[in-house]
Amino acid sequence: MTLQLRVYVPDHPLIKHWLAIARDENTPSVLFKTAMTELGRWLTYEAARHWLPTIDMTIKTPLAQCPATLVNPTVPIAVIPILRAGLALLDGAQTLLPLASIYHLGVVRNEESLEASCYLNKLPEQFTPQTRILILDPMLATGGSIMLTMAEIINRGGDPALTQIVSVVAAPPALRLLSEKYPSLNIYTAIIDEGLNSKGYIVPGLGDAGDRAFGT
Ligand code: PRP
Ligand code: URA
């Protein structure tokens, strides 16, 4: 069986709405952060659909026994926000995954060379084999940052088949790199944009996500 990267762009009015707010150059930082929180929430909701482990059991209502399905609390869930911009998605994701462990990863790209480097790594030394991993990074542009992130996760035993990415705007160069190296990945994004400008920014994109989220 050949695997193929799956990129989901959920057709949902709330996702479209908050993407429009985030894209608008007139949106102030505080509202931009709200838009990111909401996109983190709704895209994580979509991503959880076939990824969150469940357990079937029988429970007793006040009237009778019935079958029930619960989120399985014994399977570890790891959420990895890619600093800085990925932090803006975290509040929304965390409301849906309250039991997840949060592992921060600081990745920055050099604005001249566009090369990504890691300045903070709070990943565990080893992921347990069943760990469900959710990466939060709103912008997938050249792909340098997400490829570095994936390499760090794989080095620690993370399974790409149990890994999903929540982004807001994805561009073809990043999707191409991910598809070549990690075809079993699932990506949830609000939009796939057409490409990058000469400085590596996504067009039309939404500008610098980190600067806009934190007012810098
Ligand atoms: C942004 C964004 C991604 C990265 C994507 O981070 O949050 O992590 O760029 O670009 P790439 O696909 O070309 O690597 P940035 O380096 O601007 O850091 P920040 O989040 O601290 O602003
Ligand atoms: N990082 C951003 O924040 N925006 C882009 O358009 C590309 C990378």
| pLDDT tens digits for range 135-177 | 999 999 999 999 999 999 999 999 999 999 999 999 999 999 9
Ligand 2: which atom is nearest the Cα of residue 206?
Answer: 6
> Which ligand has an atom closest to residue 84 CA?
1
How is the chain split into domains, by residue range? 6-50+70-214
Nearest to 215 by CA among 126, 81, 88: 88
> Which ligand has an atom closest to residue 116 CA?
1
- Nearest C-alpha to atom 21 of ligand 1 is from which residue? 84
Nearest to 84 by CA among 206, 215, 173: 215
Ligand 1: which atom is nearest the Cα of residue 171?
Answer: 12
Q: Is 141 in the pocket of ligand 1 (CB under 6 A)?
A: yes
Q: Show the ligand 2 pocket: residues with CB < 6 angstroms.
A: 85, 139, 141, 201-202, 205, 208-210
What is the distance between the alpha carbons of residues 63 and 65, in angstroms, rounded to a whole number?
7
**pTM, entire model:** 0.97
Mean pLDDT, the chain, rounded, equals 97
Instruction: Identify the band that residue 1 occupies on the pLDDT scale cut at 50, 70 and 90.
Output: low
The enclosing H or E element of 167 equals none
**Distances 18 to 15, 96, 107, 190 between C-alpha atoms, Å:** 5, 18, 25, 9
CATH-assigned architecture of domain 6-50+70-214: 3-Layer(aba) Sandwich (3.40)
